[in-house]
Amino acid sequence: MKRMPQQQRPLRMRGLILSIFFPVLMVVILSGNPKPITPTEVLSSIALVDSFRAIPSDNPFSETYEVWFRVPLDHTNPHSQYFPLRVYYSHNGFNKPMVVVIDGYTMYTSKANEITSIVDGNQITIEHRFFSQSRPLDSIPWSYLNIRQAAADAHLVISAFKPFYHGKWISTGISKSGQATIFHRRFYPADVNVSIPYVAPLNFSSEDERVYKFLDSVGTPECRKKIYDFQIQLFERKSEIMPLFKELSASKGWKFTMGFEKAYDLSVLEYSFAFWQWGFNCSSIPASSSTAKELFEHWLEVNPFSFFEENEVDKVRPFFYQAMTEIGMYGYRVKPFSRYLSDTANITFSFAMPRGHRAIFNASAMSDIDRWVKDSGSYMLYIYGQNDAWSATAVDPGRKTNAVKMVCPGGSHSSRIKDFPPELQDSIYKVLGRWLDLKLPANGYTNSSSGL
């Protein structure tokens, strides 16, 4: 590696420090840190807020706003262009905890998160860059879609609200949002007091083979055989089932640019992963003597075919770009189904990459996250479902940090704290209460209360 001349290093370092802290400095200076009387005054005082509007509010909030921030494309460049980033801001009290939902996709709700309900807090939900309308108007500059830039987006928003809310700060997210929660905490550990990522994988490859090992061992041998036999039935009876697939596609207006044959095959391969991810029961799998319609309806229930539909893929193409370049993914084994497939190598999601971009995976990004998790990731509560296929690549917090990993027995990707047995829920509340210096759950919250 070429070394920088000694006399250049201080200038380069000063430039780097300025470029990183400039956007946050602008928030603090231009906001003036006024003492707020109302949430609208908070929003009006934040210089990087372009616009906001009141929207319907959910309990326990008194008011909720859709807010548009002006965010740099490149947080390391003080002269960067900006793009709009959407945020939901829900107020419950300036001295109550603030829960930051760091979304990994398009925001789909402003309702209270489970953690917000547990602590009776305020809530900020931050849409992920380049999803929905949180992107430049003309086209997506893919080189700026990485975990560091997205973490800096969250840091900028948090820094804007931080002067006004004096309770504990908590970050959280589910699935890819859980990943984003971990990534943000790695780069900005002082932004919040506690982080609670749910069902968040930590993948080390664009085809993380730990998933295959998980699918070979989860559940019982009898259930795994039943799943495999069902997939074989889908291949064997393709001529009967394909017309049902095409009929549904026509009624939904679905478009498969890869062709119906490929979409069908990939949906068969996806079945086993989706089955465990969403916690289906083996008793629900139809027998081989079932009609084509019965096989098709169960298949559709477990694995909606829209996962490979072109318009749906396009909505989440930023996810696939990240999965194939930094945050990792799973693939499909071909060998167990080689009689029915023309593919000779395992299938990855490289087909979902943006046009003109190759799937080149940067393994160092997740290796860095893994090191941080094990060495420095304290006050992290990881929530997982035991049978969730994404638990194949669950975080291993190690023993050096003050972190806790809780696994819901028999749980899936839908597992939440309310789904744990009562004694494990109590353990979770005790850990969070100790870390946050709060008596939990707050305000009469029960496991039957609202909370996503």
Q: In what order do the strands lie in the sheet with 63-72?
A: 49-55, 63-72, 82-91, 122-126, 98-102, 169-174, 194-198, 380-385, 403-408
In CATH, the architecture of 6-205+363-436 is: 3-Layer(aba) Sandwich (3.40)
The secondary structure of 192-225 as a DSSP string is -SEEEEES-B--SSTT-THHHHHHTTSS-HHHHH
CA-nearest of 128, 118, 74 to 92 is 118
Quick: pLDDT tens for 307-319: 999 999 999 999 9
109: confidence class by pLDDT, cuts 50, 70, 90: very high
Residue 37 has pLDDT above 90, yes or no: no
Residue 17 has pLDDT above 50, yes or no: no
The pLDDT value given to residue 442 = 83
Terminal Cα-to-Cα distance of the chain (whole angstroms): 48
Altogether, the residues listed in the chain come to a count of: 452
Spans of all domains in the chain: 6-205+363-436, 210-352
Quick: pLDDT tens for 123-155: 999 999 999 999 999 999 999 999 999 999 999
Residue 16 has pLDDT above 70, yes or no: no
Using DSSP, state whether 115 is helix, strand or coil: helix
445: confidence class by pLDDT, cuts 50, 70, 90: low
What's the rounded Cα separation, in Å, for the pair 442 and 121?
A: 9
The secondary structure of 147-190 as a DSSP string is HHHHHHHHHHHHHHHGGG--S-EEEEEETHHHHHHHHHHHH-TT
Rounded (10°) CA dihedral 375, 381, 385, 386: 50
Task: Give me the half-sphere count of Cα atoms (radius 13 Å) on the Cβ side of residue 321.
Answer: 22
Structure tokens at 438: 């709060």
Mean pLDDT of 225-243: 98
Share of the chain above pLDDT 70, in %: 90
DSSP H helices, 303-394, are 310-315, 317-322, 363-375
Share of the chain above pLDDT 90, in %: 88
Residue 33 has pLDDT above 60, yes or no: no
Task: Tell me the average pLDDT of the chain.
Answer: 92
Please give the backbone phi and psi of residue 52, each rounded to the nearest 5 degrees, phi first: -155, 155
What's the rounded Cα separation, in Å, for the pair 41 and 99?
A: 20
What's the rounded Cα separation, in Å, for the pair 169 and 123?
A: 10
304: confidence class by pLDDT, cuts 50, 70, 90: confident
Answer whether 256's CB lies under 8 Å from 263's CB: yes
6 versus 238: which is more confidently predicted? Answer: 238
What's the rounded Cα separation, in Å, for the pair 62 and 92?
A: 6
Answer whether 273's CB lies under 8 Å from 212's CB: no
451: confidence class by pLDDT, cuts 50, 70, 90: low
Quick: pLDDT tens for 381-440: 999 999 999 999 999 999 999 999 999 999 999 999 999 999 999 999 999 999 999 999
The pLDDT value given to residue 446 = 58
Quick: pLDDT tens for 154-202: 999 999 999 999 999 999 999 999 999 999 999 999 999 999 999 999 9
Residue 14 has pLDDT above 60, yes or no: no
The pLDDT value given to residue 25 = 46
Answer whether 415's CB lies under 8 Å from 409's CB: no
CA-nearest of 168, 172, 190 to 95 is 168
The pLDDT value given to residue 5 = 35
Flag the least confident range among 17-21, 65-69, 142-146, 197-201: 17-21
What's the rounded Cα separation, in Å, for the pair 137 and 9?
A: 37
Q: Which residue has the tokens 């990183």?
A: 20
Quick: pLDDT tens for 349-379: 999 999 999 999 999 999 999 999 999 999 9
